Amino acid sequence: MANPPELAVIIVSYNTRDLLQRAIASLQTSLHAHGPSHARIIVVDNASHDGSAEMVRRTFPDVELLEPGENLGFARANNLALRHLGFPHGDALPEAVWLLNPDTETVGNAPAQLLAHLRAHPDVAAVGPRLQYGDGRFQHGAFAFPGLLQIAFDLFPLPARLYETRLNGRYPRAWYEQGKPFDVDMVLGAALMVRREAIQQVGLLDEGYFMYVEELDWCRRMKQAGWRLQLVPTALVIHHEGQSTRQFREEMFRALWRSRLRYYTKFAPRPYVWLVRALVAVGLAWQKQRARGG
């Protein structure tokens, strides 16, 4: 039996050909220079019509390309790749799996750092890097579990001074800048590395989500199972946030709130879910009125 890979990287792409090419190229540069030396890269193309699949076949022949023939969404597409790897109980599973967005660029030895951190901390299920926008601006890479206030922040005009606070699920920027790993509730799915044993314990992603909140649900299940999750600020990934969904803003907005309601229904008490539904209904009505100029 072949030795299992140290790391498997899964990239789910939909009409992001140029970004995807840059993402794979930067990832391969990092892996070749810093390791791990035994890694697999899997791209799931969600029925793109911009030549993404052809580009992968032509430019990156060593990359494993999965083409389901339809847009599976984020969770189902990642699960397709996870099952392709043999999860949950195959014989040659990788030590860790890195979910990576197609609108990312891997910097330096980020994957090697994240994998080394998992190896050094067996009680940590998942880790993520520090993220920044393409222009160098800071981007939050991890969040606290959401509450009612975060819904209000998303739907209503609240004081800007509160946006970057823990009330809105944000960890202090100083924690990122000090360079030391810190515990978090969830790691953003743009660059989420998860150890094999955690996936085997909690299972694959919940396919009831088409897009958004999937990693929040996954991280919540890991925390409930007793695992820790951490952000490793010395590992860096550039994230051109939202590029892969920009062309469908209204559709994605609806998908976001469907996913959030599913999350609260799964994990919150029923009275809390009623409050969430009421707040969302009022907030969406206000947003529509605002869009009409009322």
Q: Is residue 259 one of the residues assigned to a domain?
A: no
The confidence score (pLDDT) of residue 247 equals: 46
User: From CA 42, how far away is CA 157, in angstroms rounded?
Assistant: 41
Catalogue the long-range contacts made by 84-88 (C-beta closer than 8 Å, 24 or more residues apart). Answer: 84/42, 85/8, 85/40, 85/42, 87/199, 87/200, 87/204, 88/199, 88/200, 88/203, 88/204
The confidence score (pLDDT) of residue 280 equals: 77
The confidence score (pLDDT) of residue 104 equals: 98
Q: Is residue 250 one of the residues assigned to a domain?
A: no
Specify the higher pLDDT residue, 291 or 12: 12
Q: Is residue 261 one of the residues assigned to a domain?
A: no
* CATH code where residue 199 lies: 3.90.550.10
User: From CA 230, how far away is CA 186, in angstroms rounded?
Assistant: 8
The confidence score (pLDDT) of residue 283 equals: 74
74 closest CA partner among 212, 260, 249? 212
User: From CA 240, how far away is CA 138, in angstroms rounded?
Assistant: 12
Q: Is residue 169 one of the residues assigned to a domain?
A: yes
User: What is the rounded average pLDDT of the residues 176-189?
Assistant: 97
74 closest CA partner among 190, 167, 184? 190
The confidence score (pLDDT) of residue 49 equals: 97
Q: Is residue 211 one of the residues assigned to a domain?
A: yes
Number of domains in the chain: 1
Domain that holds residue 22: 7-244
* Sign of the dihedral defined by the CA atoms of residues 155, 158, 164, 170, in that order: negative
Q: Is residue 275 one of the residues assigned to a domain?
A: no
Contacts of 249 (CB under 8 A, 6+ apart): none
User: What is the rounded average pLDDT of the residues 210-220?
Assistant: 93
Q: Is residue 288 one of the residues assigned to a domain?
A: no
User: From CA 17, how far away is CA 294, in angstroms rounded?
Assistant: 40
Summarize pLDDT for 15-62 with one digit per residue, the tens. 999 999 999 999 999 999 999 999 999 999 999 999 999 999 999 999
Characterize 187-225 residue by residue with b for buried, 16 or more Cβ atoms within 10 angstroms of its Cβ, and e for exposed.
bbbbbbbbbbebbeebebbbbbbbbbbbbbbbbbbbbee
The confidence score (pLDDT) of residue 13 equals: 97
Among 28-32, 77-81, 266-270, the minimum mean pLDDT is found in 266-270
Summarize pLDDT for 221-238 with one digit per residue, the tens. 999 999 999 999 999 999
Summarize pLDDT for 111-147 with one digit per residue, the tens. 999 999 999 999 999 999 999 999 999 999 999 998 7
255 closest CA partner among 264, 265, 245? 245
The confidence score (pLDDT) of residue 208 equals: 92
pLDDT higher than threshold 80 for residue 250: no
Q: Is residue 26 one of the residues assigned to a domain?
A: yes
The confidence score (pLDDT) of residue 166 equals: 80
User: From CA 17, how far away is CA 25, in angstroms rounded?
Assistant: 12
Tally the C-alpha atoms within 13 A of residue 125's C-alpha that lie toward its C-beta: 24
Contacts of 58 (CB under 8 A, 6+ apart): none
Amino acid letter, residue 221: R
